[in-house]
Chain A
Amino acid sequence: MYQEIILDHYRNPVGRLILEPFDVEVHHVNPTCGDEITLRVKIDDGVVTAIGHQGQGCSISQAATSVMTELLEGRTVQQALDVEAGFLALMQSRGEGQPDEDLLEDAVAFSGVSKYPARVKCALLGWMAFKDAALQAVAQSVKDQS
């Protein structure tokens, strides 16, 4: 489960910072273990220009959020949500998933985590926070335009 790539991201996380300026901030908690994340996104013209996160969590949740940040920054919101959907499907595959390497890149390292149902929530903590934030940002921009 602990691929080298996961441990690397855990030791040197990408985007572990208080993002400023930002468009949306969300706070998510994993009720089974108490881990928390505060995540901010900046979205310009439908593109995720920056993600910043803070909080506490295990190596899996920290590394998954770091990999996610690296992977999603610079993509359009739609692309980012497609990657998120792919990651979610992989995590729910209970070790049976055939990960799409083109789509998920380094995030395929988490395939092994999907065999441990109790850890899936860890891997998803940052991703769910991002999804929530992105959808809020979209909703906000629709409102601003109307």
Chain B
Amino acid sequence: MIQKVVGSLEEAVAGVFDGATVMIGGFGEAGSPIELIHALIDSGAKDLTVVSNNTGSGEVGLAALIANRRVRKMICSFPRTANSTVFPELYKKGEIELELVPQGTLAERIRAGGAGIPAFYTPASVNTPLAEGKEHRVFKGNTFVLEEGIRADFSLVKAHRADRFGNLVYNKTARNFGPIMCMAANTAIVQVKEVVEAGTLDPEQVVTPGIFVQRVVEIAHPAHESELVAAKRRYPW
């Protein structure tokens, strides 16, 4: 019987190796899989390349992963947000790499990785510093830049509900990068508020079909990043 639900956060993040590429879902705190990130910190994995839209807030979640020196390189669109001090400080000291990618290009590169598309052309960033050194090409009179798909060894994603097959539904704008990051990872690891019986999720309403998901862990009451940041919490506690 197919059973993708695992019993613990430790099992969920097992096997993340040093040097792995890890995608981490979320747009700000919405959709950020904070418990999975903390479990990844506990696992000790280091030298990671992390793909995520932002770089976290305060000293919890993604910011804590960075603060604990587990991240060699960030691939993201917006590393500078409110209450984001950990990444900027390390970056200014030259202690972490940054690959800055326009948000839509980042999303499409992730989707391409998941869809078996090695590269595609996009108009975004043409004539800007972010397109420098990249191949340019004209289609029907307009100039586009070549961008490559990204795949990850692991993705950490937060969704709303899952069944044992790994079918997922999300909550509101916490959906953001979750579905495409599940597609693009060899091992997509998902925390959900609730695991439901097979057949509970309407097949018309499944957002991420289970084929894109390898492990599910139930975290019924996930922490709110903003509350932890406001309380100046720091992980490990």
Q: A and B: partners? A: no
Residues of B within 8 A of A (CB): none
Residues of A within 8 A of B (CB): none
